[in-house]
Amino acid sequence: MKELLVNVLSPAKAKLFITYAAYVARDLEMTVKYIHVHTPQPYPMGFPGSLTAAASLNHDGTKKETEKARHHFELQISRLNASDPDLPLLEYSVEVGRAPDVIGSYCKDKKVGAVMLSGSKEHSLFSDNARNVDIIRTVKCPVWIVPEGIAYKPFSEILYATDYHKEDIHNMKILSRFASKFPANITAVHISPEADFAERVRGEGFADMIKSETGYEMIEVKVLQEKPGEPLVEELHNFALMMDADLIVLLRENRGFIDRLLHGSRSEKIARETQLPVLIYNEERR
152-156 long-range contacts, CB within 8 A, separation 24+: 152/19, 152/20, 152/23, 152/24, 153/246, 154/27, 154/182, 154/184, 155/179, 155/182, 155/184, 155/246, 155/247, 156/182, 156/184, 156/185, 156/246
- Give the strand pairing for 278-281 and 185-192: unpaired
248 neighbors 159 (Cβ within 8 angstroms): yes
What domains does the chain contain, in order, with CATH numbers?
3-146 (3.40.50.620), 157-277 (3.40.50.620)
Dump pLDDT digits (tens) for 258-270: 233 234 455 555 5
To the nearest whole percent, how much of the chain has pLDDT over 90? 44
Dump pLDDT digits (tens) for 35-65: 999 988 765 545 444 445 445 546 678 899 9
Q: Tell me, what's the pLDDT at 225?
A: 75
User: Digits of tens for pLDDT over the chain (286 positions)?
Assistant: 999 999 999 999 999 999 999 999 999 999 999 999 998 876 554 544 444 544 554 667 889 999 999 999 999 999 999 999 999 999 999 999 999 999 999 999 999 999 999 875 544 433 335 667 788 878 889 999 898 888 999 999 999 987 666 567 788 888 999 999 999 999 988 877 676 766 666 656 777 888 888 999 999 888 887 776 666 667 777 888 889 999 988 876 533 322 332 344 555 555 555 678 989 887 654 4
Nearest CA to 132 among 41, 18, 9, 254? 9
